[in-house]
Amino acid sequence: MAMSAISIGGALGLILPPRSRRGGAVSWSAVTGRRAAAAVVVRASYEAGVGVMATKVGMMTYFDPETGKPVPVTVVGFRDGGNVVTQVKTAATDGYDAVQVGYHGVREEKLTRPELGHLGKAGAPPLRHLQEFRLTAVDPFEPGQELDFAELFKEGDLIDVSGNSIGKGFQGGIKRHNFKRGLMTHGSKSHRQLGSIGAGTTPGRVYKGKKMPGRMGGTKTKIRKLKIVKIDNNLRVVMIKGAVPGKPGNLLRITPAKIVGKNIPKN
């Protein structure tokens, strides 16, 4: 599997034509007659703090030692190689501040020469996954620095967990959108069919975004404000209350939860 780099907040180098004085969206050069383009940096969202990547192990029941009540938790582990800072991006060099983190150590044969050169420049071992965390300040980080989950988070903290959800294939409207089925008796011939999708004369077409059968699952999903129940440094696992996206073995992205007024400004 090739190493993937994810940029937070969408495309930052989107090229759009500048608006002319008359309000048009296209500007033409008087010499070449070609369209003149200008780089526009799209406003991106910041993370509440640097995060890490982890691997989903499975779910279990954890009994609270104080109350004795059962708590459904997801066990999250870390593969060999850990989380290593592979690049520190600054506004002076890259136009924005971010920390690139690598995860999941692999053999050198699994990566290409450009990927090995990028990691070797930071003094990092061969890593399969790369992700960026856009921050307001990157001074405390340097290439080759190892990130320890126990130092970044503690028990009781709220976190955001994102990953690819379980793919369910092509599904109908009832399972995909929670539609109601038709009658099963009394001569009904519409049981699980979709039904009407629009009028024939007006508008004479199907509106975009109409809820219909299609591919379900297998998309990036984020579960916000999950609580860390327990951090076991001996087993190198973390227990998170509730469910997280994906099946066991799925790659997860864990970041501090965004709370307005606490780590995110109200404005």
Q: What is the pLDDT of residues 181-198, one digit of tens each?
A: 999 999 998 899 888 898
Q: Which of 7-11, 147-151, 203-207, 239-243 has the highest mean pLDDT?
A: 239-243
Answer yes or no: is 7 within a domain.
no
At 261 the pLDDT is 79
Q: What is the DSSP string of the chain?
A: ----EE-TTS-SS-EEPPP-TTS-S--B-TTT-PBP-EE-PPP-PPPSS--EEEEEEEEEEEE-TTT--EEEEEEEE--TT-EEEEEEE-TTTTSS-EEEEEEEE--GGGS-HHHHHHHHHTTPPPEEEEEEEE-S--TT--TTPEEPHHHH--TT-EEEEEEEPPP-EEE-HHHHH-PPP--SSTT---SS-----S-TTTT-SPPTT---SEEES-SEEEEEEEEEEEEETTTTEEEEES--SSSTT-EEEEEE---BTTTB---
Between 42-46, 176-180, 243-247, the lowest mean confidence (pLDDT) is in 42-46
Answer yes or no: is 14 within a domain.
no
- CA distance linking residue 36 with residue 46, whole number of Å: 31
Between 13-27, 48-62, 149-163, 215-229, the lowest mean confidence (pLDDT) is in 13-27
Answer yes or no: is 56 within a domain.
yes
At 208 the pLDDT is 94
At 4 the pLDDT is 44
How many independent structural domains does the chain possess?
1
Q: How many percent of the chain have pLDDT more than 90? A: 68
Answer yes or no: is 201 within a domain.
no
Q: How many percent of the chain have pLDDT more than 70? A: 83
Answer yes or no: is 93 within a domain.
yes
Residue 43 pLDDT exceeds 60: no
Residue 26 pLDDT exceeds 80: no
Answer yes or no: is 88 within a domain.
yes
State the pLDDT confidence band at 262, using cuts at 50, 70 and 90: confident
Phi–psi pair at 126, nearest 5 degrees: -60, 125
At 167 the pLDDT is 95
Q: What CATH number is attached to the domain comprising 150?
A: 2.40.30.10
State the pLDDT confidence band at 265, using cuts at 50, 70 and 90: confident
Answer yes or no: is 204 within a domain.
no
**Domain ranges, residue 149:** 52-175+215-256
At 34 the pLDDT is 52
Answer yes or no: is 200 within a domain.
no
